[in-house]
Amino acid sequence: MKELPKTDLATLESQIPEGKYMLFFTAGWCPDCRFIKPAMPEIEQKYQDYTFLKVDRDENIDLAGEMDVMGIPSFVAYDNGQEIGRFSNPDRKTKQEVEKFIDSLNK
Catalytic residue among 30, 40, 64, 102: 30
Catalytic residue among 4, 12, 27, 33: 33
Q: Is 11 a catalytic site residue?
A: no
Q: What is the pLDDT of residue 64?
A: 95
User: How many other C-beta atoms can be found within 10 angstroms of the C-beta atom of residue 70?
Assistant: 13
How does the average pLDDT of the chain come out, rounded? 94
Q: Is 85 a catalytic site residue?
A: no
Reply yes or no: is the peptide bond before residue 41 cis, omega within 30 of 0.
Answer: no
Q: Report the distance separating Cα 60 and Cα 74, nearest Å.
A: 13
Q: Report the distance separating Cα 82 and Cα 33, nearest Å.
A: 25
Model confidence at 14: pLDDT above 80: yes
Q: Mean of the pLDDT values across residues 47-76?
A: 95
Q: What is the pTM of this model?
A: 0.94
Confidence of residue 107 (pLDDT cuts 50, 70, 90): low
Question: What does the pLDDT look like over 20-49, one tens digit per residue?
Answer: 999 999 999 999 999 999 999 999 999 999
Q: In which order are the strands placed within the sheet that holds 20-26?
A: 2-3, 50-56, 20-26, 74-79, 82-88
CATH of domain 2-105: 3.40.30.10
Question: With pLDDT > 90 as the criterion, what percentage of the chain qualifies?
Answer: 92
